[in-house]
Amino acid sequence: MVNGQGTTVQETVDSHYVNDEGVIHAYPDNRDSEYLSESLGLYLEYLLQVEDEENFAEQAAILKDRFLIETGGQVFIPWRLYEEANVNALIDDVRIAAALEGAAEQFAEPAYLKLSQQIVSAIEDRQHQQGTAVDYYDWSYQLAGNRLTLSYLIDEITVLPESFAMLDTGESEVFFPEYYDFDEKKYVKSGEVHMIDQLLIAVNRFDQDIESPEFENWLTEEWVNQGQLAGRYDRETGKPTVDYESLAVYYYLWQYFERIEQTEFAKQVVQRAESLAGEELPGDLHFFDFIHYQMMMHEQ
């Protein structure tokens, strides 16, 4: 149910988020918004979570028919459709491959496993610098990217395991650097931090047994004092730079609090997200926020 309105999440997606070809666009009822591999991967993850074999098969077919590009004996997934895009995005490909692998077992469909292995094989073969994964591969120039975004290092990555070592930045500041630059051989930080990135990095570090005490202390203090989390913060001051909240931020905050066994805080996050979502979904929610919220609510 979408906030108890009597329609399923899948019906809402079909009504508001897909074009005539069944491809997901970013904003509800706006077919001019972007068609992202990110949206496809997250929806596959949700459909696997709710064990919806039929809709999963439809989206897997869209992946094969619309997204996949075969070149040089490998398959690639452009990060967006209908517009020029010669690069993929590591996190989206890994998410898609993991969902396909899970579905192969869940729905007893070996073709999903084969496709998953093809996607992962391309990453392992082309998308790295000296064995460490990078953000993208550009198949028009046959070049791997020169940076690794730390939020991309999700636990589902099954290749290039040495990449996870990049999460241990050797620093003890509150906020994490966003990425590692292979040309400059250094971590890079932005002055304004996005909480989705910071929380994902914190989750990724936890999953690799790397502690983040400074971030954890700041985060719990911010939650106790404010009862909410803004979308962005100033790296130096730790103060919010925007006044909006985000359902996707709350999804990752919930995940992090669950991991560090702050279950009471995790419950409060869900309640805050529910009040933020309100009654009328999808409203003008980006698919990223909409589907993360639904994944979180399904777990309650």
**232: enclosing H helix or E strand:** strand 232-234
Instruction: Please give the CATH topology (third level) of the domain spanning 9-298.
Output: Glycosyltransferase (1.50.10)
Q: How confident is the model at residue 179 (pLDDT cuts 50, 70, 90)?
A: very high
Whether residue 89 is predicted with pLDDT greater than 90 in this model: the reply is yes
pLDDT digits (tens, 9 = 90+) for 31-87: 999 999 999 999 999 999 999 999 999 999 999 999 999 998 999 999 999 988 999
CA–CA–CA angle 169, 174, 178 (5° rounding): 50
User: Is the CB of residue 67 less than 8 Å from the CB of residue 22?
Assistant: no
CA gap 80, 35 in Å, rounded: 5
Q: Which of 113, 83, 76 is nearest to 23 (CA)?
A: 83
pLDDT digits (tens, 9 = 90+) for 188-212: 999 999 999 999 999 999 999 999 9
Categorise residue 252: left if φ over 0, alpha if ψ from -120 to 50, beta otherwise: alpha
Q: How confident is the model at residue 5 (pLDDT cuts 50, 70, 90)?
A: low
Q: Which of 27, 168, 155, 56 is nearest to 115 (CA)?
A: 56
Write the CB contacts of 147 (distance below 8 Å, at least 6 apart in sequence): 134, 135, 179, 180, 181, 182, 188
Share of the chain above pLDDT 70, in %: 98
pLDDT digits (tens, 9 = 90+) for 227-248: 999 999 999 999 999 999 999 9
CA gap 102, 242 in Å, rounded: 37
User: Is the CB of residue 56 less than 8 Å from the CB of residue 44?
Assistant: yes
pTM above 0.75, yes or no: yes
